[in-house]
């Protein structure tokens, strides 16, 4: 499907200034302190007062991980159709348009190639602002095509998840993306290319239950929320109270779901170390 946006829209500008009309201060959800936005950015979007992690947009994540001047956008110019003509609080088409406008993305993922401390790779980065980073048919296709690109070029594939799961507005088509991405992942196995999955806040439901859990190495960013169903749903189902650290990155590490929990500041060198190893 041809698209309407400028081909240049995804250029990652490492020197980009903050939008002029945005608020200068943000309130930390964890400690309620007001933080000067510039200070927060300089601190890698971690609260300087209490250490709480603010989630990164896909572009911010790329800037924090990929070497300057090396990122090449490979996101396919496709956007979701509305096969179910879905309408909840508002029509899905409207939701899509709003998210596209807010994020300047076609959907909740950016795929590209670049370097991490001079290691070439293909990377796919999800953006939670776009309908909760949910995986519909476009996201599934972008992940699969990113994997195919990595396979063609003989490069490692890295997925940075930040997703609430499958996109309910596409129903069964969204659930099929779990199968699609899982099958695509096998191409890397056949080509003996590494797949590194990085779970960030949040990696849940259909994404956690498929592609995000299939890394050769799985890293979790500190502060990540990792799990399938939400705490409330589970507690109501099993009639038990869950431990306080349930679904935290540390909990996922203790249960063997992830291989390491990494601070945001150390994520780039840690990723480079893993790629170096392979």
The residues binding Zn ion (CB under 5 A) are: 28, 30-31, 47, 49-50, 52
CB of 98 to Zn ion, least distance (A): 29
Whether 26 contacts 37, CB under 8 Å: yes
Nearer to Zn ion, 47 or 252 (CB): 47
CB of 25 to Zn ion, least distance (A): 13
Nearer to Zn ion, 53 or 195 (CB): 53
CB of 40 to Zn ion, least distance (A): 10
Buried b (16+ CB within 10 A) or exposed e, 177-200: bbebbeebbebbeeeebbbbbbbb
CB of 184 to Zn ion, least distance (A): 39
Report how far residue 7's alpha carbon sits from residue 237's, in angstroms, rounded to the nearest whole number: 47
CB of 36 to Zn ion, least distance (A): 13
Phi/psi for 136 (5° steps) reads -105, -160
CB of 44 to Zn ion, least distance (A): 14
Nearer to Zn ion, 49 or 182 (CB): 49
Q: Between the CA of residue 89 and those of 86, 107, 155, 174, 213, what are the distances in Å?
A: 10, 20, 42, 19, 31
Helix, coil or strand: residue 238: helix
Whether 172 contacts 132, CB under 8 Å: no
Nearer to Zn ion, 49 or 70 (CB): 49
Give me 257's structure tokens: 């779901």
Nearer to Zn ion, 30 or 70 (CB): 30
Nearer to Zn ion, 30 or 44 (CB): 30
Q: What pairing do the DSSP bridges indicate for beta strands 25-27 and 34-36? A: antiparallel
CB of 24 to Zn ion, least distance (A): 17
Q: Between the CA of residue 76 and those of 58, 122, 138, 156, 231, what are the distances in Å?
A: 15, 14, 9, 19, 35
Nearer to Zn ion, 43 or 266 (CB): 43
CB of 27 to Zn ion, least distance (A): 9
Phi/psi for 242 (5° steps) reads -90, 155
Q: Which helix (H) or strand (E) holds 155?
A: none
3-state helix, strand, coil in the chain (%, to 5): 40, 20, 40
Nearer to Zn ion, 28 or 131 (CB): 28
């Amino acid at each position: 499907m041809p698209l309407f946006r400028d081909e240049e829209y995804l250029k990652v500008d490492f020197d980009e200034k903050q939008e002029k009309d945005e608020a200068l201060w943000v309130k930390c959800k964890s400690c309620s302190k007001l933080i000067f936005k510039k200070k927060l950015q300089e601190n890698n979007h971690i609260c300087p007062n209490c250490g709480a992690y603010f989630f990164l947009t896909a572009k911010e994540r790329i800037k924090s991980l990929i070497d300057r001047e090396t990122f090449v956008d490979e996101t396919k110019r496709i956007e979701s159709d509305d096969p179910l003509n879905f309408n909840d609080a508002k029509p899905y088409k409207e939701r899509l348009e709003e998210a596209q406008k807010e994020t300047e993305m076609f959907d909740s993922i950016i795929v590209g190639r670049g370097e991490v401390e001079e290691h070439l790779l293909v990377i796919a980065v999800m953006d939670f602002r776009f309908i909760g980073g949910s995986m519909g048919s476009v996201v599934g296709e972008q992940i699969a095509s990113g994997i195919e690109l990595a396979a063609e070029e003989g490069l490692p594939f890295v997925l940075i998840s930040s997703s609430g799961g499958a996109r309910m507005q596409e129903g069964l088509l969204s659930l099929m993306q779990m199968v699609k991405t899982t099958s695509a992942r096998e191409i890397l196995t056949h080509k003996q290319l590494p797949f590194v999955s990085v779970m960030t806040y949040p990696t849940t439901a259909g994404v956690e239950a498929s592609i995000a859990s299939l890394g050769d190495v799985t890293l979790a960013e500190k502060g990540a929320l990792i799990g399938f169903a939400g705490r409330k749903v589970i507690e109501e189902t099993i009639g038990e109270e869950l431990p306080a650290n349930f679904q935290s990155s540390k909990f996922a590490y203790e249960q063997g779901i992830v291989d390491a929990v990494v601070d945001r500041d150390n994520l780039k060198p840690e990723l480079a170390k893993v790629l170096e190893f392979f």
